[in-house]
Amino acid sequence: MFAYARASDFNAIGKKEAKRVQLDPLKESLEYTDGAMNLTKTFQVGMVFYKLEPSTAGAEIETMLILDEMDLLSDKFINKLNLFLIGQEVSVAEVEIKSIRKEPVIKVTTDFATGYVVQFDLVTPDDFDYCSIYDS
CB 23 within 8 A of CB 6: no
Looking at residue 107, its pLDDT comes to 79
For 40, phi and psi rounded to 5 degrees? -95, 135
* Model confidence at 67: pLDDT above 70: yes
Looking at residue 19, its pLDDT comes to 79
What confidence tens digit (pLDDT) does each residue in 74-129 have? Answer: 999 999 888 887 776 544 547 888 899 999 988 776 677 889 999 999 988 777 77
* Model confidence at 4: pLDDT above 90: no
Q: What is the pTM of this model?
A: 0.75
CATH architecture of the domain with residue range 2-134: 2-Layer Sandwich (3.30)
Distances in Å between the Cα of 66 and the Cα atoms of 4, 58, 77, 84 are 22, 14, 16, 27
The residue ranges of every structural domain in the chain are: 2-134
CA angle (110, 21, 52) in 5-degree steps: 35
What confidence tens digit (pLDDT) does each residue in 34-45 have? Answer: 766 778 889 999
